[in-house]
Chains A and B, each alone.
Chain A
Amino acid sequence: MQINAYPEIVMENVIKKFDDINAVDNVSLRIARGEMFGLLGPNGAGKTTIVNILCGLIKPTSGFVTVGGYSLPKNLEDLKRIIGVCLQETTVYPYLNCEENIELFGGLHAMKKDLFEIRKRLLLTKLGLYNVSRKKVEKYSGGMKRRLSLILALIHDPQIIFLDEPTIGMDPQSRRSVWDFIKELKNENKTIFLTTHYMEEAETLCDRVGIVDFGKLIAVDTPKNLILKNGVNNLEEVFIKLAGRRIRDGV
């Protein structure tokens, strides 16, 4: 993994203000093509805001952003063709069945019919929804909806993938299989930007991790280097050491 290869995601001095708070406070970051980057941080640290800026959902107050060579917000339309986004909130249409949800997103990406069918089958199988694909999503469990949400993000085989807490609310089995799946995506040389609260998985899977707190990026490095530099045993200890023990949300 060459970190200094062609940068697929670039943020320079990005600031996002909501009323009086800086949700993102002067963040600069470069992520290489094919890199798997994990963004860690306490609740309310600004992770989701960063993801939303990178996938063009919100405009930064100031700063410079390019994704996949497209600068934002100018090339928004082009950007949306090459990214796949799984938002933190599970967003699936309850009144459609699983396949209809996938068909909608295949349609929104104007996919060719045969490619669509191949991808649909593949993803349904990999995420364990193949046998329940005709079921109304209303009747899905939280974990099943979450996995469907992942399929919707990936149906068009995007090069750049944003996953905001992809395994939130999943049991250990599903979580494990989803992480295995994400690992496969990495092997396909996809650029993956994810946020998570699962330190162990971030430690074993991510090429690099960034720790964000109060909107500031306080550390970026490989998990190994971070552990070494801070003289601790694992990433969770790094996290506690840097971000503290206090509950941050709503402060």
Chain B
Amino acid sequence: MGQVLTMEGMEIVYEKPGTLTQTPFHFCPGCGHGVVHRLLMEVVEEMGIIDQTVGVAPVGCSVFAYNYMDIDMQEAAHGRASAVATGIKRVLPDKYVFSYQGDGDLAAIGTGETIHTVNRGENILMVFINNAIYGMTGGQMAPTTLLGQVTSTTPFGRESSHVGFPLKITDLVAQLPGAYYVTRQTVHTAAAVRRTKKAIEASFKYQMLKKGTCFIEVVSNCPSGWKMTPVEANVWMEKNMLPIYPVGDLKVPKQ
């Protein structure tokens, strides 16, 4: 009671990475975007590659990624992040380049770029946030929306006879010879966050081998778009999304 806490005798075990700006995240409570932003920047800081890293932000909820990530960044047109990243990497082949995209960006409007970027084996990291919905535009159906899932444009649930099936773009990508490392992770538990960070770390290291594209899908949530509390959203994600989008490596480098 009334105890004053000081830092005396304490050790800092966790703090904000210097690669994140002081701008507070604008993301909704419980959203996975902020966690993945932070993980990317933790890895960039820990690897000491701030001056060698260029990121590409998409159009979607993470359009302002460059407001938070304190690194050189380009903002791409909707769906074109991996083409922009290709352009950067081709003229800066020894730099670390990553794109960061939502499911609408990467798997609907940008499907062509996604497939061909990986098929060329561009030596970049593609981070793919799958929240099964269009967050930014207010909760419309995404290519990854589950069958039966209610969105503002599937008010009676997604029907395959009308709008097709959840697109497992990561499974497609893993089939391509240009892909070097393909994994699907989540960030909804502490252990999952650690695994995703490991995947990001590995992908940045792999980039310098110049052996192909690294692709990380993060199955995430959208409490606002799904109209759930953060806790409900994570429960729903685990129960409904993970059976369709199971966590694990889809392609690992041959030893």
B partners with A? no
Using a CB–CB cutoff of 8 Å, the interface residues on chain B facing chain A are: none
